[in-house]
Amino acid sequence: MRSAKDFFRPLAVGAPTPLTQVPARPSRVIHFFDPSNPKMAAKVPGMVGTVDVLLGNLEDAVKADRKEAARAGLVEIAKATDFGANTQLWTRINALDSPWALDDLTTLVTEIGDKLDVVMVPKVQGAEDIHYVDRLLAQLEAKAGLTRPILVHAILETARGMVNVEEICGASPRMQGLSLGPADLAADRRMKTTRVGGGHPGYLVRTDPVDGDVQGERATAQQDLWHYTIARMVDACAMHGIYPYYGPFGDIQDVVACEDQFRNAFLLGCVGTWSLHPVQIEIAKRVFSPSAEDVAHARRVVAAMGDGTGAVMLDGKMEDDASLKQCLVIVELAERLSQTDPALAELYAVEPAAQEG
């Protein structure tokens, strides 16, 4: 067990000092691309500024015989691209028990560590996985002469990882956040679904029978398979001051269900999601940005509450200090997004009624 006094000390001589607080940078959409695919790679420079995060994927969806090409491709892309101030560069390395993970880290940190913001680690089982990556990154950062630490993002893809979620979140000051990996997690839990995220028509509740007629017409409502998992992930992240994300939604064509799943995650506390196809980018940006109406209402409550004590009546509803805290979440998010998104800055600066007119 590490002493609390040592938690924010570098784990290698010459490594940068760990951060005491995770930067609150917009990351509504983490757009995945395959660096070994020339067509995808050619589109990366044009996407800078249009998405919050561009992630060079080295793991799933990259075949074994393309792993080295993907790694080399990401190095080439990073060196040739100016990502500016508003787009982060992340990567998802291969699983820590794979033949490629060590080379992924040693190559990327020493070659493009100055460009890399976050390393996403798949199939994290417990704090021991984060401790391994933490120490290795510190040694590589020192070797490369980096002046800022690279952060770590873990994917929850196993039942063991889910059980250990709190200790994973608190394992290192490098921890930036967590993402839900629904497909691998479903398999590890032995869930009976072949879908990548989203709901399932068989997971439902049904109203009681009328007059005892169990075969009669009865309304049903589909339930959310991932509600518990996302809520627990959000709590663990909030406890440790890091950020929760929904992961992939595999049905690219069903943009309606995709938006529903993203919105569920947003309302539960997630700050962003993955994008597997360009069609999901605008959905994610829209869903993970508060509406103009919500921002306007939140500002009214903040203004009405004054010093934040007591209670007021606004539009026939009681607002008190708890309401104020909720509204500050919306206002602070709107202000943060407005700093990097001119369209949102304009939208949030105008009252909804004025926009409609």
Per residue in 233-253, is it b (16+ CB within 10 Å) or e — as a string? bbbbbeebebbbbbbbbbeee
Quote the CA–CA distance of 157 and 37 in Å, as a whole number.
Answer: 25
Quote the CA–CA distance of 69 and 47 in Å, as a whole number.
Answer: 21
CA of residue 334 relative to chain centroid, distance: 17
Contact 50, 281 (CB under 8 A): yes
- The strand ranges marked E within 20-102 are 29-33, 53-57, 88-92
- Helical ranges in 157-309 per DSSP H: 159-163, 165-169, 182-189, 227-240, 255-268, 279-287, 292-305
Q: Is 157 annotated as a binding residue?
A: yes
Q: Is 92 annotated as a binding residue?
A: yes
**Which residue positions form the known binding site?**
92, 157, 184
**Which residue positions form the known binding site for substrate?**
92, 157
**Which residue positions form the known binding site for Mg(2+)?**
157, 184
